[in-house]
Amino acid sequence: MWELLIVPNRNWKSHHAQGINDLLVFSLQAVGALSSSFVLYQIGWEGLLLLTLPILFAMAGLVLYWIRRGKPEALATSGQ
C-alpha cells in the first residue's frame, strides 16, 4: 500500500496514484480535525496531553537509539 502512495504502480498513470494519495491524506486530515473537539470534550485537556506521552517517549527512545547506533542508514545512503 505504501508503495502505491510513494511510487505509482506501473499499470496506473501517475495522476491516478496522486489522486488516491491526496484522497487518503486529506480524508484522514479531515477526520482528525473534525474529531478533535469530541476527543477534547470526552477526556479533557489534561487527558489529551497525557495521550501524547507514549508517542513522545517512543520518539525520544528512537532518537536515543539512533544516537547510540550512529547515523541512520537512510541518511547515510542518501548522502545527507
C-alpha dihedral over 59, 24, 17, 1, to 10 degrees? 50
Distance CA 48, CA 28 (A): 19
Tens of pLDDT, residues 3-20: 555 555 566 677 888 889
Tens of pLDDT, residues 20-30: 999 999 999 99
- pLDDT (0 to 100) of residue 38: 92
The answer, yes or no, to whether residue 53 has pLDDT greater than 60, is yes
Coil, strand or helix at 34: helix
What are the CA-CA distances from residue 66 to residues 70, 71, 75 (Å)? 6, 6, 11
Q: Grid coordinates representing 47?
A: 487527558
**Would you say the pTM of this structure is higher than 0.85?**
no
Q: Domain boundaries in the chain?
A: 2-78
Q: Grid coordinates representing 75?
A: 541518511
